[in-house]
């Protein structure tokens, strides 16, 4: 048991994955779109393989660095399908770990129009079909739901309960996408002493017994996301959404002890990463501009702090924005994170794409120790039982 009364998962059972890297970073490059092609825009990236991406004609590049190669856990080329991304981005491992009790987050980062929502949910409306057979454009979330239920169906000794919630952060206000209410009243974030984490007060959570329940959550949230929005594109480029599935498992452990633990799976569709510059010069009020940027700025700051070995042990400003409060337990300490950085290959977007690649490179350097959260009392009982067994066997040898 460590100082937080957490018990490392590895100590409970050896069959669980050995976690060394808690952040997996992949890049997805969307195809040039028809407008870009019509305007004669060209691709400025190449794919040497081995998780590398090469950028030609680097912006502000001095004469000896006109091209630059960046390395990640994987790079998905424009021709990659939704299925390729699902199979090879690391989401399956993330889901497996969430089932085993880790706090896991998959987030899409990138400028507006780079393919974040396409990657997570696919084109609008597509999620309304039941995945008896996948449509080629079905996104990561839906494929993850199916995979999650495949995993749960296999394990008969463990009893699982799934609870889902879906929220949006716009202008630092938290809106419950499963329970809009008439006034769209924002919900407060509070600190829970017991869970040692932030939570959204009165957030609607839905117990999901089958796949269709999870799909209904996704549908309802996506529908509510667009309710009353005059300019959906502008709105979605400035808001963050977090779909969360809490997975509680109850298992009978050695010595007749009953253990319950709750893993978490977050899917985060972030606001466009270009927003910072645009809103500063835009016509918004200063407060609104600051607030819209705040969550992304603080996330960037947290990632920089976490990834810098010189800053180990220094203060990480999770509390400075609502997004980072809610993601703190995944980014820090004992969470596991999958970052999908989305970029456009077009020359006209190059400086934003390079910003995204640099951001992703920083995130890659984050190192923490994932662990499973368990009820401290149960962890203690388990350890005492273990000690008794050891003492008994020692005794037997005397
Ligand atoms: P974002 O959420 O980052 O603002 P979107 O996911 O909405 O961007 O993508 C912008 C447009 O580009 C959409 O019309 C989407 O369908 C298309 N698109 C994005 N990525 C891909 C891809 N990999 N393949 C085909 N079309 C894509
Ligand atoms: Mg989007």
Q: What is the pLDDT of residue 3?
A: 37
Q: Relative to the CA of 114, which ligand 1 atom is closest?
A: 3
* pLDDT digit string (tens) for the chain, length 398 residues: 333 333 333 233 222 344 456 788 999 999 999 999 999 999 999 999 999 999 998 866 555 668 999 999 999 999 999 999 999 999 999 999 899 888 899 999 999 999 999 999 988 766 555 556 678 888 999 999 999 999 987 767 788 999 999 999 998 999 999 998 777 789 999 998 887 789 999 999 999 999 999 999 998 998 888 777 777 777 778 899 999 999 998 877 777 767 788 899 999 999 999 855 444 445 555 666 666 678 888 888 888 887 777 777 778 888 999 999 998 877 775 688 899 999 999 999 999 999 999 999 988 887 665 555 555 555 566 566 667 777 777 777 76
Give the position, in ligand 1's atom list, of the atom nearest the Cα of 28.
Answer: 23
Copy the structure tokens of residue 50.
């081995």
The whole-number pLDDT of residue 372 equals 59
Distance 295 CA to ligand 2 centre (A): 16
Quote the DSSP letter at residue 124.
Answer: T
What is the pTM for the complete model shown? 0.85
Instruction: Give the per-residue pLDDT at 291.
Output: 66
Hey, whose CA ends up nearest to atom 17 of ligand 1? 115
- DSSP H helices, 155-274, are 211-225, 232-238
State the Cα–Cα distance between residues 282 and 284, nearest whole angstrom: 6
Nearest to 336 by CA among 366, 310, 376: 366
Q: Where would I find the H helices in 155-210?
A: none
Q: Which residues contact 329 (CB under 8 A, 6 or more apart)?
A: 103, 196, 197, 198, 264, 335
Q: How far apart are CA 278 and CA 358, in angstroms?
A: 19
Whole-number Å distance between alpha carbons of 51 and 29? 12
Predicted ipTM of the assembly: 0.99
* Ligand closest to the CA atom of residue 35: 1
Supply the pLDDT for residue 13: 29
pLDDT at residue 9, as a whole number? 31
Quickly list DSSP for 306-342. Answer: HH-GGGTTS---GGGSHHHHHHHHHHSTTEEEEEEEE
Q: For 192-196, which contacts have Cβ atoms below 8 Å and span 24 or more sequence positions?
A: 195/373, 196/4, 196/329
Pick from 29, 30, 107 the residue to mutate for probing ligand 1's pocket: most ligand atoms within 8 Å of its CB.
30
pLDDT at 292: 64
- Three-state DSSP at 340 gives strand
The pLDDT score that the predictor gives to residue 116 is 96
**Does residue 257 contact residue 385 with C-beta atoms inside 8 Å?**
yes
Report the pLDDT value the prediction gives residue 324, as an integer from 0 to 100.
Answer: 93
Q: Which of 43, 118, 278 to mutate to test the pocket of ligand 1 (most atoms within 8 A of CB)?
A: 118
CB neighbour list of residue 298: distance below 8 Å, 6 or more residues apart: 317, 318, 320, 321, 323, 324
Closest CA to 252 of 3, 13, 21, 1: 13
DSSP E strand boundaries for 83-140: 103-109
Per-residue pLDDT, 301: 84
Residue length of the chain: 398
Question: Which pLDDT value is given to residue 331?
Answer: 75
Ligand nearest to the CA of 345: 1
**What does the pLDDT read at residue 2?**
36
- Ligand 2 center to residue 236 CA distance, Å? 6
Nearest to 115 by CA among 162, 81, 153, 65: 81
Residues framing ligand 1 (Cβ under 6 A): 30-31, 33, 110, 112-118, 123, 237, 272, 342
């Amino acid at each position: 048991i460590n100082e937080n009364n957490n018990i490392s998962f590895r100590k409970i059972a050896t069959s669980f994955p050995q976690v060394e890297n808690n952040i997996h970073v992949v890049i997805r490059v969307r195809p040039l779109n028809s407008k870009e092609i019509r305007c004669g825009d060209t691709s400025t990236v190449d794919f040497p393989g081995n998780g590398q991406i090469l950028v030609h004609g680097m912006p502000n590049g001095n004469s000896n660095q006109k091209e630059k190669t960046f390395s990640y856990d994987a790079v998905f080329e424009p021709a990659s399908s939704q299925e390729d991304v699902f199979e090879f981005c690391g989401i399956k491992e993330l889901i497996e770990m969430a089932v085993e009790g880790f706090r896991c987050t998959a987030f899409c980062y990138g400028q507006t129009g780079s393919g974040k929502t396409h990657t997570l949910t696919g084109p609008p409306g597509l999620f309304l079909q039941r995945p008896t057979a996948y449509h080629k454009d079905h996104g990561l979330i839906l494929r993850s739901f199916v995979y999650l239920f495949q995993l749960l169906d296999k394990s008969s000794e463990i009893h699982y309960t799934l609870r889902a919630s879906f929220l949006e952060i716009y202008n630092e206000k938290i809106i419950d996408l499963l329970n809009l209410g008439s006034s769209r009243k924002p919900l407060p974030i509070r600190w829970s002493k017991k869970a040692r984490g932030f939570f959204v007060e009165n957030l609607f959570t839905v117990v999901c017994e089958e796949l269709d329940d999870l799909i209904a959550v996704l549908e309802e949230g996506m529908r509510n996301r667009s309710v009353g929005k005059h300019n959906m594109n502008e709105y979605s480029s400035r808001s963050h959404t977090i779909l969360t599935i809490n997975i509680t498992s109850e298992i009978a452990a050695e010595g007749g002890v009953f253990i319950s633990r709750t893993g978490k799976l977050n899917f985060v569709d972030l606001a466009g990463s270009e927003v910072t510059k645009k809103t500063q010069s835009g016509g918004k009020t200063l407060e609104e501009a600051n607030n819209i940027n705040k969550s992304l700025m603080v996330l960037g700051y947290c990632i920089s702090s976490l990834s810098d070995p010189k800053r180990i042990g220094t203060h990480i400003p999770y509390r400075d924005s609502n997004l980072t409060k809610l993601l703190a337990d995944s980014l820090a300490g004992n969470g596991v994170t999958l970052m999908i950085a989305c970029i456009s290959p077009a020359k006209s977007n190059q400086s934003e794409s390079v910003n995204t690649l640099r951001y992703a490179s920083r995130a890659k350097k984050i190192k923490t120790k994932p662990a499973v959260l368990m009820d401290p009392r149960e962890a203690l009982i388990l350890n005492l039982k273990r000690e008794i067994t050891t003492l008994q066997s020692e005794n037997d040898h005397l």
